[in-house]
Amino acid sequence: MSTETWKKVDEYFTKKLHEPESIMDNVLKSNEEAGLPSIDVSPNQGKLLNLLVQMKGATKILEIGTLGGYSTIWMARALPENGKLITLEYAEKHADVARKNIEHAGISDKVEIMVGAALDSLPVLEERGEKDFDFIFIDADKPNNPHYLEWALKLSKPGTVIIGDNVVRDGKVVDEDTEDAVIKGVQSFIDLLSRNPHIDSTAIQTVGSKGYDGFVLGIVK
């Protein structure tokens, strides 16, 4: 099976199952125009996040890794009127693009972007008393994934859904001899999950427009 086929099938499902909506397409366009890397979730993955937020009935979401706000907007659009999403982004430029995209999507009142290294922003969130998130999406620098998981657990409550993106990485996750800090970060993340009695999780491999990858999905006990 080729990457070409995965792409075609991804496009097929997007066309068939998504409302034709310019809002989400415009986000990708504006990211491209601003020169952001095309490392956002795919449209089908974005819609999956949107559906999961609805299934969970989440009102409070934390995202680590905003980029241009593509996944942010997919998730925030599933929030109810009183819902809130806080997203953490290191790069000022990415945050600026995301801010504009969020404004164009008409959901600025629901979304707060915190600019800076997530490991600096997370303690600030704790100090502000921002905890008990219903839904946490981890999608930033993978070497820090183990730290992000610890913070996610700290800021969660029983029933919180935690999702970590890009855990398969072309199958490299099973390479025990890897020296790659990204893969090692993912492996430590999975090890922590496997040892932690407070979260029940699984991982799903995916193929599509973003190649061969996957995500981890867990629920806090």
CA 209 from chain center: how many Å?
17
C-alpha to C-alpha distances, 206 to 136, 164, 171, 191, 200, nearest whole angstrom: 20, 13, 11, 20, 20
Output the 3-class SS for 178-218: CCCHHHHHHHHHHHHHHHCCCEEEEEEEEEECCEEEEEEEE
- Asked if residue 79 binds ligand SAM (CB under 6 A), the reply is no
Q: Is the dihedral of CA 7, 10, 15, 20 positive or negative?
A: negative
- Asked if residue 71 binds ligand SAM (CB under 6 A), the reply is yes
**Among 78, 88, 152, 216, interactor with ligand SAM by CB under 6 A:** 88
Q: Is the dihedral of CA 82, 85, 86, 90 positive or negative?
A: negative
Q: List, in sequence order, every residue forming a beta bridge with 220; answer none if it has no partner.
A: 199
**Among 30, 76, 89, 111, interactor with ligand SAM by CB under 6 A:** 89
User: Looking at 101-109, 123-131, 138-146, 199-207, which segment touches ligand SAM (CB under 6 A)?
Assistant: 138-146
User: Looking at 5-13, 53-61, 86-94, 183-191, which segment touches ligand SAM (CB under 6 A)?
Assistant: 86-94
**Residue among 82 and 122 whose Cβ is closer to ligand SAM:** 122
- Asked if residue 117 binds ligand SAM (CB under 6 A), the reply is yes
User: Looking at 54-62, 67-75, 174-182, 207-215, which segment touches ligand SAM (CB under 6 A)?
Assistant: 67-75
- 180, 161 contact by CB (below 8 A): no
- Asked if residue 189 binds ligand SAM (CB under 6 A), the reply is no
**Residue among 151 and 153 whose Cβ is closer to ligand SAM:** 151
- Asked if residue 134 binds ligand SAM (CB under 6 A), the reply is no
**C-alpha angle 90-78-198 in degrees, rounded to nearest 5:** 70
Smallest gap from Cβ 85 to ligand SAM, in A, equals 12
Smallest gap from Cβ 68 to ligand SAM, in A, equals 6
Three-class SS of residue 144? helix
Mark 7-46 with x for binding to ligand SAM (rule: CB under 6 A) and - for no binding.
--------------------------------xxx-----
- Asked if residue 52 binds ligand SAM (CB under 6 A), the reply is no
Nearest to 152 by CA among 187, 118, 186: 118
The CB density around residue 152, as the number of other CB atoms within 10 Å, is 24
**Residue among 200 and 204 whose Cβ is closer to ligand SAM:** 204
**CA end-to-end span of the chain:** 38
Q: Which residues bind ligand SAM (CB under 6 A)?
A: 39-41, 65-67, 70-71, 88-91, 94, 117-118, 139-141, 144
